[in-house]
Amino acid sequence: MTTVLFTGGGTGGHLMPALAIAEEMVRLDPAVRPFFVGSRRGVEATVLPHRPWRYELLPLEPLWRRRWWRNLRLPFALAASLREVRALLAREAPVAVVGTGGYVAGPVVWAAMNRGVPAVLQEQNAFPGLVTRTLARRARQVHLGFPEARARLAVGQGTAVFDSGNPIPAPPSPRPSRADAKRKLGFPADRPLVFVTGGSQGALAINEAVAAALASGTFPRGASLLWQCGARSLERFAPLRAPGRVVVEAFLDPVSDAHAAADLVVSRAGAMTLAGLAVWGLPAILVPLPTAAAGHQLSNARALAQAGAATLVDQSGLSGDTLSGAVATLLDDPARMADLGRRMLARARPDAAATIAAEALKLVPKA
């Protein structure tokens, strides 16, 4: 068996790509044995116990940008984690390391490269994260979720850079018809459906704008609304449900049902969320999270807007009226909607996980 180290976490946006790449590597080469390294405080602490692979959780901590005083304990946690990483590397002897970003990946990939282990980096965002920017020069491969990230990276002569896309589950084949998908969710098939989502946790600013639009009657009356508001906001916004017109849910699993049914999406601009919209070719109004690390969501949204694949609404100007106006403008222009959808689909990389896995396997010695 051949051990490949995977590291990336803290959030699902970093962990899920690592899991997808690992699954594809095992599918392509059953001799590969993934080993995951994560943080005790990250989402991986609850996800990895339910996956089939071995893992180790370290006392790693994020770099706090606002609550800076919490960084005082960072050197101690980092030193303890590096000791554990070095022991792990000696014990497991991985033949490659795959890092997918976040505060977990940096120390692990750095320590592995110092032992001569070839590194593969997968960067989700249009503006590369700190780990990718710091380690790209020494990595053997860098796989980009957004081609725009290439201009912001300094890579070494031995670094291969790929426009691979972000690894997410591909839509089912054949895809369900939009009309059937609407009926499955309880909506009329002959009315446009707007899917609003702030991600799994919801987005309060978007939720409040939607609520204001419904309360004032400015939300387009000819449209249906599927609204994923997040668990913390469900009690507040559930009274706005209207059978056959407004469905409010805390979380949609699988979200593919919503993607199959939607004519238009209003969404945050997280990299994995946008990858999902791309593979379904969905026109979107993007409201990037202004507090996202290093402005990643704004960079992602701008990249798609400049490519003509989405429209961008800044959260500072978001209200019930501006949201309703943006939705109505697009619903009233089917040609514009179709063009956005085509351009969004052109950004799709449904085979991203398989592509990254196949390239990474080129670094794995054959038994």
Does the pLDDT of residue 166 top 60, yes or no? yes
Cβ atoms 160, 139 nearer than 8 A: no
Which stretch of DSSP H or E encloses residue 256?
helix 256-261
The string of pLDDT tens digits covering residues 24-63 is: 999 999 999 999 999 887 888 988 999 999 999 988 765 5
Burial (0-12, 13-18, 19+ Cβ within 10 Å), 264:
buried
- Give the residue ranges of DSSP H helices in 172-243: 178-184, 204-216, 234-237
Helix (H, G, I), strand (E, B) or coil at 58: strand
- 328: domain range? 178-346
Q: Does one domain contain both 240 and 200?
A: yes
Q: Does one domain contain both 203 and 142?
A: no
Q: Does one domain contain both 45 and 141?
A: yes
- pLDDT band for position 75 (50/70/90)? low
Residue 367 maps to a domain:
no
The string of pLDDT tens digits covering residues 203-239 is: 999 999 999 999 999 999 999 999 999 989 999 999 9
Residue 366 maps to a domain:
no
Q: What is the pTM of this model?
A: 0.88
Q: Does one domain contain both 13 and 140?
A: yes
Q: Does one domain contain both 107 and 229?
A: no
The CA-atom distances, in angstroms, between 273 and each of 94, 127, 268, 312 are 31, 16, 8, 15
DSSP codes joined into one string, 89-121: HHHH--SEEEE--STTHHHHHHHHHHTT--EEE
- pLDDT band for position 132 (50/70/90)? very high
